[in-house]
Structure 1
C-alpha cells in the first residue's frame, strides 16, 4: 500500500523494493483497479469510531473516499509564463469541452481549485466515459502532455500541493525537502525560491535600478540567493526526482541521496579569521514523510485490500526520527512543515507531539497557527484526543480488534490477557508516544488543534495532514530511538528498580541517549515490514550512511551573517557529548558504484573565457560557477552552471561522503562542425543549450538575432536544418537576414512578447531559443518534443510532420547509393554473360 500521491511512494507491503515505481506496482496487481471492491471493515470502523468526525460527516467523507479522485494539474514556472499558458488553455480548450453534451447534460469542463490563488491549480471531475467520447478532451490531453513535458504544467494531486504553500518560502531562503521524490513539491519549492528574478536580472543587466531586497533576497545581481536541497534515500527514486526538477531549469538546486532520519550536517567554510568549520542550518524544511497512505484510497485501491492498523504503528518511529532530525537541521526562528497523506493520528498528531517533547517542549518548538493562510482551503483542526487500534492474534489466527485510549489502558489489557489468554500477541510497536500527550498545564500543553486535517469530502480531494512547526531555540537532545513495546516495558521495569533513566522520546518522558538507525533488515520484526519498504528506509548494511564529524546537534546555529562564536560551538559540543552514549563518527568517503562527480572549473579557465567572449557576455556575469561532471574535471561534452551557494556546498562537502545526485543547469554543449573551408577535419566548439540559455541571455551583447514574425518562427519550428543559401531567397524572413551576417556558430534568438492584433495572435510571453548558424543552413537547437509543444501552444498544430532536410538528404543519398550499387552489379553480371 504505497504513498501513491504524485507518482506514488512505493508498495512497502510487498517483497520488492520498487518504492514508487508505478509500472512495477501495477504489474504486481492481480486484479484490475475497476474490479477492486472499495470496502474494508476494519479500515471503516476505525475512522468511524476513532473520534475523527461525527456520524453524519463521517458518512459523507467515506462516500467520497470510495469514489474516483478528480484529475488535477498545476501551471508551473515563472508566474508570467504560467499565467500565459493558463490563458491559452482557458481560451482554446474550455469552450469546446463546455459545449459537449453527455447523457443529456452539459459536460463539466476543468475548473480552478478555489483553495489556491491566481487560478493556477485546476481539477477535472468529468466522467471517464465522457472524456473518451469527445474530441475536445483528446485535444486537451495532447496539450496537457506537451506542456507537462516542457515543464509548464505539473500533473499533481490537489492535496499534495498544499504543504509547500504553508512553508511560506521567500527568494533567498535555504530550503530542505527531506523526502522529496517524486519531486512535485520540490518543483513548487524551487519556483518559490527563484521568485520573479527574471525581471530583476534583466534590469540589473541593463543597469536599471531595482529593489534587491523586497519580497526576498535578489542581491546576486537580481538573482535569488536561495537554495533548495531535495533529498531522497533511494538512488532510483532520486533519479525520478531529478527528472521532475530538471524540467524547470533552476540552478539553485541540489539533489542528494541520504536517509532522511540521519541526514548528514552540511559543512560550510570557516568564518573569516577562524579555522573552525560552520554547519548549514535551513530557513525552511519540508518533512513530507513516508506513511501508510490511507488518504490516497481514492487513487490507490490497494489501500482497501491491505489496510491494517499496524501500517501506521510500524511507521511511527521512522516518522518521528525524520521529524526530529529535521528540527535539528532547522535554523532558530525557521519553520518546518510536517505532512503525510494519511489520516491516522498515530502517524500525525502523535508524531508531532512526540517530536516536540523529545526536542525540549513548547519552549523549544511550537506549532504555528496558520488559520489565516490559504483562507479558501477548507480544513479541520488537528486532534487532541484519539484512539489507537490494534489487532491481536493467537498463533497467526483468532484475530481480535482493540481500541486503546491511553498507554495505561493498553498496559491493563496486556496484563488481562497474560492471565486469560497468554498466547495472544499484540503489536510490538505500541509505545506511549502513539497516544495523546498527557500534559494538563497550559505552559506544557501542545496545541495540536493548530495542525490541519484535510478530509476527502471537504473539497473533493484525497486525505492529508499538515503541521507547521517553528523552532524557538537550539535543541540539545539526541534523536529518539527506535523503540518497541518490549523496550518500553523493560526500561520501565529497570527504572522502577533504579537501574535506568525514564523512557526516551515518548510523551510524558525525558529524552535520553540517541539511538542511530543502524539495524540490519533481518532484525526488524514482522510489524515493521511497512518501515522496511518505505523510501527513507536504511537496512543497516550501507556503511556510507554515517553521522557527521561532530555530533549533529553540535552544529552551529548560523547567524544572519552565517557565523557563530567559538564559545557557542564549544558549549554545544560539550553539551552534546555529555548526552551521547558513543563518540561521534565521521562521515565516511563515498564508494557507491553509481558515483556522480561535480568538478568546478577555474574562474580563469581559458575555454570558458573564449566561450563567454564569443557571445559577448558581460564581465559581471560570474565566472566561478561553471562545473563539469567527470572525475578529472575535463571539458568533454557539457558545461553546467549553478548558484553561488550550491558551489560553496558542493566544494566543501564532496570529499566528505555526501551523495550529490544532481546539481546545475546545462549551459553549453560541445558541437562538432566542419571548418570554414569545408574540410572534413572537425573542430570542437560550444553551443548554447536550451536549458540554460535564459540565464545567460540578459548578459549577452553578441550573436543576438530578433524574431518578430510568427511565420518565421513557424518555419523554424516545422523545418529542421532549413537552407540558408549564399545567394537567393532563404525564406527565413528577418531571422535569415540577420544570420547571413554572422559567422558559423550558435546564436541567441529573442522572441519578444507581442499582443494579438489584426488577426495575428502575437506571442504570449517572451522567449529565447538557441539557433545554430551553419555554412549553408540554420537549425533551431531544441528537441522534437519542445518543437511540437511550441507548435501546439503557439499555432494549435496538433500532430506536426517535421521536415528534416538533413535526414531527407541522407535518405536520398542512401537510396541513390543503393541504386548505383545495383547498377554496378547488373553491369558486372551482363559483362560476365
Structure 2
C-alpha cells in the first residue's frame, strides 16, 4: 500500500512567484487577519471583465458567479496501484458511507461523500456537507481520521477535482517517457507516476513465475514485467521542488527523477551514445505544462483573488506561459502529446497562449489541437473561445483611479494608444499587451486554429473550481521561432509608425478625430460598468513580505528572446540548446544568446548548485556489499544488479542503498556533470542496521519503500502470514518476545522465525476472502532479533494499517524495548535518589557531631567549611 508556483517559470519572475503554490495561485501568500468567511467576495474589475468579456450569456454568468463566490467542496482521490486503490475505496464505502447516510441534521438527511462523475472507477470523491454538520457528528470525525491516516500513508490524495483533470488527457501508457514541466506541489506528478507504473507489480509477479508479462494494452513491460517508462518532474524554485520531493517520495517509484530548472529554458537531456556517433537527446512521449497563472479560477478557496485581482496579472504572465509551452513543444517527440493547462479563466493566459505557440511553431501543419470530446465523456466542459476581448487598465502616474478598457484586436489597441497619446499623453497603459494576446487571424479556413477544441471547466458545471485544458499533438519537427519580448514598446512603436504612415499629412487632423471615434467604444464605454464612468480602485499597499510573494505579473522584467533549439540543416531535426548559451544572471536578469549550433550540441557547463546538492553515484554490478545482501535474501539472478545507487560523492555503501530504473540510471549518469540539477531519484531499498552483535551475515534492513520491488524475486527469508489476528499482534506490539527456547505469542510468524538466523525477512500476505481474510496483497519487512522480532514499519503506518484493517481508531502500540529502557531509567533514577538521601544523612550526622564538641571553649570547625563533599 502507499505506492502509489513559481511553478517552473522564468528566472526573471523568480521573486514574484516565490512561494506560490497550486492552491494559492493568483494572490501569493494569504496574509489576511480576518476569517475567510468574512472576506467580501467582490471585486469590480474581476466581475466586470467576465461579465462583459463575451464568455457566456448573462443568465449563465449569474449562475457561474454565484458558484464562484461560494465555498469549494472537499475532494480527494484514491491513489497507488489500481488494485490497492480499489481495495481502500471499498473499505471506505463499506465502513463510513452507511454511517454518514444514517445521519439527520435539522430534519434533513445528511448528504454523504459521493464519487465525482467524469472520472473512472469511482476513485475521485467530493463532500459538500456544511462544516456545522461535520463538527456535530461522530461519523465525520471517524471519517476524518481515516482520511488523515490514508493521506499520510499515500493511499489518498487531498486534491481539488479540476486539478485531477489534465493528467487524464495525456493518455499516458506504461513505458512512456513523461515530463511534468511545472510540477510542484506534485499531485499531478503522482497521477502521472501511477499511469507510468500501471499494473507493474502484477506483471513482475507473472515474469518471476516465467509467464509472459506483456499483453496488448499499449504498455511496455519488457523489463521482466517492470515498466520501462520514466517521469521527470521539474520545478524552478528550490523550496517548492522540496515540496515536490516530499509528495512523490511516498509513491516508492524508481522510474522518477525530480529536477530544479527554469521550465522556459529547460536544458536538453543527453542520452548515452557510442564514441564517434552523433549525440542523442531525450525526447518525450508526453509533456504536462501546467503553467504559472493568475489563478482566478481558484477564487472559491483563495481569498486573495477577490482582494487583489487585476487584469495585469494575466497580461504579465502571457509571455512566460508562451515560452514554457513553446519549450515543451520543442522537447516533444513527433507524434507526442502535450497538455497545456491553467487554473485561470482568462483567455490571454489560455487560448491566446495556445494560438501564439502554434503560430510560433509553424502553424497547424506542425502542431494540432486534439479533439478530446469523446474522452471522459461525463466530465462537463465547454469549448474553448475563438473570440475574446483583452482587458487592461490605465491610470495617471500617482493616481489611485483606474480606467478599464476592453480591446477586441491589436489594431484597436494601437488606435486607442494614439487617441490617448493625443488627448492625455500622461495616461499609462500596461506594457504587457502584445499582438499575441488577441485572437489569431487566418487567411483561410485551412489555416484557422480550431481553438474550440480546447476545454473550459467552469465552477457551475459540476460544482468545482475553474480550469482550462488544451491537448496538443506534434505533427512534425518545428522550425526555430522567436518568442516576442514581454514588453510591447517595440511592437507598439512599429504599429504606430505604420498607422501614421498610412495617413496623409494634409488629412492628419481629420484622421486623428476618426481614430478617436473608432476607439471610444473599444477603449472606454464597452469596458466600464455603469454610465461609462472610469473604474476606481484604491491601490493596496501590502506588507513587504506579502509583496515579494504575490503573483504580481506586471512587475516581471522583460523576458529575452529565447530560441532553445536550432534545426540540423541536413536532417531538419531539432538540435537542443546548450546551456553555454545561457549567460549568468546580472542584477536578477538572465540574458540568452542564440548563436548557430553545430550538428553536435555543445557540452553543458556545470551550474552553481545548492550547498545541499545531492550526489548520485551508481555502484558497479559486482559490488560485494550488494552481492552479499542479494544472496542473503536469495534474489534471482534475473534481478538487475547494476541499478543500485548511493548518495555520497565517494560512492560508498555507508548507510542507505537506493534502486532506480534503467532509464533513470542512463540519464543521471550521462548528465550529472552537464549542469542538470537533479534533486531526487531512487527508492530506498536497504538501510544499514547498527546493532551490538557483529556476527550478522547481512546487517542491512529491507525498507518498506522498496520491498515490493524486490520481493517477487526472493527465495529466502520469506515468512507467510494468513491470520489477521497474528498480523494484529505484530502491529500492536513492537519487539514481541521470541526466546531461544521457541516459546512465543506471535502465531505462525513466530513458528517460521524460530529456526531463522538473525537478520531481516519478508512478511508476505496474500489477499483472501472471509472475515479473517485480507482485502489486498501486502509485503512488509521484519527484523529477526536474537530474542525478539519486529516489523520495520513506522508508528504512523502501523496506526493507518490498524485503522484500515481492524477499525482501531485509537490504538496503543506497545514497545517492549522502549518500556524496558524506561524501566531501567526509572530504576537508576530511584537508585541515585536513594544514594543521595544516604549521603545527606551522613553529612547531617557529621555536622551534628562536630557542633556538639568544643575545644578550649570554642566550637569545632564544621567539615563543610573546609572541603566540598561530592553528592
In the superposition, the TM-score normalised over structure 1's length comes to 0.88
1:588 equivalent among 577, 593, 605: 605
Cα displacement (A) at 1:726: 1.6
Provide Cα deviations, 1:80-100, integer angstroms capped at 9, x if missing partner.
000000000000000111111
Q: Does 1:354 align with 2:365?
A: no
CA distance in structure 2 between the partners assigned to 1:149 and 1:597 by the alignment: 28
**Paired position in structure 2 for 1:524:** none
Matched-pair contact (CA < 8 Å) for 2:730–2:790: yes
2:339 equivalent among 337, 340, 354: 337
Cα displacement (A) at 1:399: 1.7
**Paired position in structure 2 for 1:663:** 681
Q: Does 1:697 align with 2:711?
A: yes
Q: Go from structure 1 to structure 2 and tell me whether the alpha carbon gap of 1:781 and 1:539 turns closer, same or farther (over 3 Å shift).
A: farther
**Paired position in structure 2 for 1:685:** 699
CA distance in structure 1 between the partners assigned to 2:281 and 2:549 by the alignment: 30
CA distance in structure 2 between the partners assigned to 1:490 and 1:16 by the alignment: 30
Bigger CA drift: 487-496 or 297-306? 487-496
Cα displacement (A) at 1:494: 8.2
**Paired position in structure 1 for 2:82:** 79
Matched-pair contact (CA < 8 Å) for 1:321–1:479: no
Q: Does 1:19 align with 2:20?
A: yes
**Paired position in structure 1 for 2:528:** none
Bigger CA drift: 296-305 or 397-406? 397-406
Name the SS of the counterpart of 1:765 in structure 2. coil
Name the SS of the counterpart of 1:356 in structure 2. helix
CA distance in structure 1 between the partners assigned to 2:303 and 2:427 by the alignment: 31
Written as runs of structure 1 = structure 2, the 5 A alignment for 1:254-403 is 254-270=257-273, 274-397=276-399, 398-403=401-406
Q: Go from structure 1 to structure 2 and tell me whether the alpha carbon gap of 1:652 and 1:479 turns closer, same or farther (over 3 Å shift).
A: farther
CA distance in structure 2 between the partners assigned to 1:26 and 1:492 by the alignment: 39
Cα displacement (A) at 1:204: 0.5
Q: Go from structure 1 to structure 2 and tell me whether the alpha carbon gap of 1:720 and 1:538 turns closer, same or farther (over 3 Å shift).
A: farther
**Paired position in structure 1 for 2:408:** 405
Written as runs of structure 1 = structure 2, the 5 A alignment for 1:475-554 is 475-492=478-495, 552-554=564-566
Cα displacement (A) at 1:754: 1.0
Cα displacement (A) at 1:15: 7.1
Name the SS of the counterpart of 2:673 in structure 1. coil
CA distance in structure 2 between the partners assigned to 1:811 and 1:572 by the alignment: 65
**Paired position in structure 2 for 1:191:** 194
Provide Cα deviations, 1:661-687, integer angstroms capped at 9, x if missing partner.
10000000010123278xxxx998211
Q: Does 1:786 align with 2:797?
A: yes
CA distance in structure 1 between the partners assigned to 2:842 and 2:22 by the alignment: 64
Written as runs of structure 1 = structure 2, the 5 A alignment for 1:623-662 is 623-662=641-680
**Paired position in structure 2 for 1:425:** 428
User: What is the root-mean-square deviation of aligned Cα atoms in Å?
Assistant: 3.0
Provide Cα deviations, 1:138-188, integer angstroms capped at 9, x if missing partner.
000000000011110001000000000000000000000000000000000
Bigger CA drift: 586-595 or 427-436? 586-595
Matched-pair contact (CA < 8 Å) for 2:245–2:680: yes
**Paired position in structure 2 for 1:769:** 780
Name the SS of the counterpart of 1:220 in structure 2. coil
CA distance in structure 1 between the partners assigned to 2:761 and 2:65 by the alignment: 58
Provide Cα deviations, 1:172-229, integer angstroms capped at 9, x if missing partner.
0000000000000000000000101111100101112332553300000000000000
Matched-pair contact (CA < 8 Å) for 2:100–2:139: yes
2:731 equivalent among 717, 725, 729: 717
Matched-pair contact (CA < 8 Å) for 1:638–1:668: yes
Bigger CA drift: 760-769 or 183-192? 760-769
**Paired position in structure 1 for 2:517:** none
CA distance in structure 2 between the partners assigned to 1:13 and 1:625 by the alignment: 36
Matched-pair contact (CA < 8 Å) for 1:197–1:223: yes
Name the SS of the counterpart of 1:465 in structure 2. strand
CA distance in structure 2 between the partners assigned to 1:308 and 1:72 by the alignment: 29
Q: Go from structure 1 to structure 2 and tell me whether the alpha carbon gap of 1:733 and 1:676 turns closer, same or farther (over 3 Å shift).
A: farther
Name the SS of the counterpart of 2:571 in structure 1. helix
Q: Does 1:113 align with 2:152?
A: no
Matched-pair contact (CA < 8 Å) for 2:28–2:551: no
**Paired position in structure 2 for 1:28:** 31
Q: Go from structure 1 to structure 2 and tell me whether the alpha carbon gap of 1:479 and 1:793 turns closer, same or farther (over 3 Å shift).
A: farther
CA distance in structure 1 between the partners assigned to 2:620 and 2:72 by the alignment: 52
Q: Go from structure 1 to structure 2 and tell me whether the alpha carbon gap of 1:338 and 1:430 turns closer, same or farther (over 3 Å shift).
A: same
Tell which structure's C-alpha radius of gyration is larger: 2
Q: Does 1:742 align with 2:756?
A: yes
CA distance in structure 2 between the partners assigned to 1:744 and 1:343 by the alignment: 61
Cα displacement (A) at 1:400: 1.0
**Paired position in structure 2 for 1:614:** 632
CA distance in structure 2 between the partners assigned to 1:251 and 1:573 by the alignment: 27
5+ long unaligned stretches in structure 1: 499-528, 557-565
Bigger CA drift: 124-133 or 209-218? 209-218
Name the SS of the counterpart of 2:231 in structure 1. strand
Name the SS of the counterpart of 1:126 in structure 2. coil
CA distance in structure 2 between the partners assigned to 1:449 and 1:570 by the alignment: 30
Matched-pair contact (CA < 8 Å) for 1:233–1:537: no
CA distance in structure 2 between the partners assigned to 1:730 and 1:364 by the alignment: 70
CA distance in structure 2 between the partners assigned to 1:55 and 1:150 by the alignment: 46
Cα displacement (A) at 1:588: 2.5
5+ long unaligned stretches in structure 2: 502-545, 582-591, 846-871
Matched-pair contact (CA < 8 Å) for 1:281–1:330: yes
CA distance in structure 2 between the partners assigned to 1:497 and 1:594 by the alignment: 58
CA distance in structure 2 between the partners assigned to 1:195 and 1:13 by the alignment: 36
Q: Does 1:732 align with 2:746?
A: yes
CA distance in structure 1 between the partners assigned to 2:317 and 2:190 by the alignment: 26
